[in-house]
């Protein structure tokens, strides 16, 4: 099945990656304060957690911030778990493809 992005852009995956890298490098070469440039995105990301823990705005700002911090921690812990599971599945698939068995069979 052909890659729809390749058909649409005329670039394969590697070429698209290089084009994106050129764009990113160009952006950062012209940015005086990278932290200020990304501040709106960071604020939006963090606001997401505050809205999640206090959708009706009834909490005090201190309590909302405290809960949002734990919501952020849970978010990143879930990402870490998914990453670990994906790495384990990839390792298991490699072992199966090589005809290897369990490491416990020693």
Largest pairwise CA distance in the chain: 59
Q: Which residue has the tokens 């069979």?
A: 105
**H/E element holding 49?**
helix 34-53
Is this prediction's pTM over 0.75? no
pLDDT the model gives residue 102: 57
pLDDT of 4 above 70: yes
pLDDT (tens digit per residue) in 26-79:
999 999 999 999 999 999 999 999 999 999 999 999 999 999 999 999 999 999
Look up residue 83 and give its DSSP letter. H
- Our measurement of the distance from residue 2's CA atom to the centroid of its chain's CA atoms, rounded to an integer in Å, reads 26
> Can you tell me the distance from the alpha carbon of 39 to that of 76, in angstroms, rounded to the nearest whole number?
19
By the 8 A CB rule, do 49 and 75 touch?
yes
* Mean pLDDT lowest among 5-9, 36-40, 99-103: 99-103
> Can you tell me the distance from the alpha carbon of 48 to that of 71, in angstroms, rounded to the nearest whole number?
10
């Amino acid at each position: 099945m052909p890659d729809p992005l390749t058909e649409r852009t005329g670039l394969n995956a590697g070429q698209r990656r290089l084009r994106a890298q050129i764009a990113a490098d160009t952006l950062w070469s012209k940015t005086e304060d990278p932290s200020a440039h990304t501040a709106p995105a960071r604020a939006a990301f963090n606001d997401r957690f505050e809205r999640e823990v206090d959708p009706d705005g009834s909490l005090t700002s201190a309590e909302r911030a405290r809960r949002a911090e734990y919501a952020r921690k849970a978010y990143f812990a879930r990402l870490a778990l998914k990453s670990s599971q994906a790495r384990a599945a990839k390792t298991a698939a490699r072992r199966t493809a090589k005809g290897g068995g369990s490491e416990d069979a020693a």
